[in-house]
Amino acid sequence: MSDVNLKKIVAEKAVDDYIEDGMTVGLGTGSTAYYAIKRVGELVEAGYNLTCVATSVQSENLARECGINVVDIDEVEKIDVTIDGADEVDGDLQLIKGLGGALLREKIVAAASLKEVIVVDASKKVEILGMKGPLPVEVLKFGHKKTKYALERQGCKANLRMTGGTPFITDSGNYIYDCKFESISNPFFLESRIDVIPGVVENGLFLNTATTVLIASGEGEIERLGE
């Protein structure tokens, strides 16, 4: 089964299993979260009364196209469940996110959520974080080269994310450095080291954030980690 079909299956499974009428729902960002948003739109069309908070301008625009009621996060007391993707997931439900460029808002929404349900295909499952892809770190534009130097002192190669020949700009107006480590054997320690670097806004380590991870593989079999 193609990666696209697996993403669609696991995203729709999460929506059907975890979203109930009357909930406040967090809408993730990325290729798998796309299918979750489309499915939420179908529930709204079927009569569900849902209030949603988006983790990016891209997801907000898609949600509105689907007829979903999207509000600012400060307009809700809490978020019942957020369904989002991830770039890497280990066996302890620790994550790397941010290749879609929305890690700051994704982390804020996750922190406000009672449940954080992560949907991925099997290619995102790893034994140790950082072995496949980079760790995105969102940084201020001001002094970003100095921030890069401090990031690389943590043992990585930090590359400024570019798009169309110019630096990628996040929804919050910042840059992203993609930091490639050989592996991240102690993510909690690394997170603490990165967070104290002046100029760092947020990092893509989502630790003790996910309550459940759904992983689609093979011909659509779904493995459930967590509750």
- On whether the CB atoms of residues 213 and 115 are closer than 8 A, the answer is no
Q: Taking the CA of residue 45 as centre, how many other CA atoms within 13 Å lie in the half-sphere pointing to its CB?
A: 11
What is the rounded distance in angstroms from the CA atom of residue 128 to the CA atom of residue 176? 22
Cα angle 137-139-141, degrees, rounded to a multiple of 5: 145
- On whether the CB atoms of residues 90 and 128 are closer than 8 A, the answer is yes
What is the rounded distance in angstroms from the CA atom of residue 189 to the CA atom of residue 176? 21
List 60, 88, 106, 116, catalytic entry: 106
Note if 116 is an active site residue.
no
Task: Give the DSSP letter of residue 181.
Answer: -
Q: Between 3-18 and 31-45, two packed helices, what is the crossing angle to 10 degrees?
A: 50
Residues classed as catalytic: 106
